[in-house]
Amino acid sequence: MSLFSAFNINATGMTAERYRMDVISENVANANTTRTADGEPYRRKVVAFAEKENQASFSHVLGRLGEKTHIHSKSGTNANMTHTHEFVHTHTRQGYTGQGVRVSGLYEDHVTEMNMVYDPAHPDADENGYVTYPNVNIITEMTNMIDASRAYEANATAFNATKSIVQRGLEIGS
């Protein structure tokens, strides 16, 4: 991996995490929006990431023979969503492969139920007096914001470390 690839990988990570923070901010801002332009309550949005596609991606390297592959699984439960993450590390003769991260999609959260609050005086109340509020949990959003912020900071630190290495390399030649 060249040093310029490291810059690119960190830059894609920072861009993806900044987008994630923007979406989280939108969720928090619309936590009490009972009616959007389409007449429905706001629904929480979730960002999905994927490996940036290229010829040396993990999926292509995994198909090669004679290379070591380690898979580590981590499971967790968050509210009504159960998820399993698999961390795949592939060692090749050139080292680790991969060219960064990209946003693979922006999805509405249809797993978490909307919040029903009894308020018959509200203009958006149904015939039983219940108002449907968004499925946004402020605590979850703030936790996700801290996570995205720290991931952004980690990418910025790695970017600056690579920049420092390049600068010192240039000083050797002079």
Residue in 90, 106, 83, 99 with CA at minimum distance from that of residue 1 = 99
Tokens representing residue 103 in the block: 């946003």
pLDDT per residue as tens digits for the range 22-43: 999 999 999 999 999 999 999 9
Tokens representing residue 141 in the block: 């959003």
Q: What is the pLDDT of residue 13?
A: 93
Per the prediction, the chain carries an average pLDDT of 80
State how far the alpha carbon of 150 is from the alpha carbons of 102, 107, 141, in Å. Answer: 18, 22, 14
Q: Which amino acid, residue 85?
A: H
Distance CA 45, CA 47 (A): 7
The beta strand positions in the chain, using DSSP E, are 45-51, 69-78, 81-90, 101-108, 115-118, 130-133
The whole model's pTM is what? 0.72
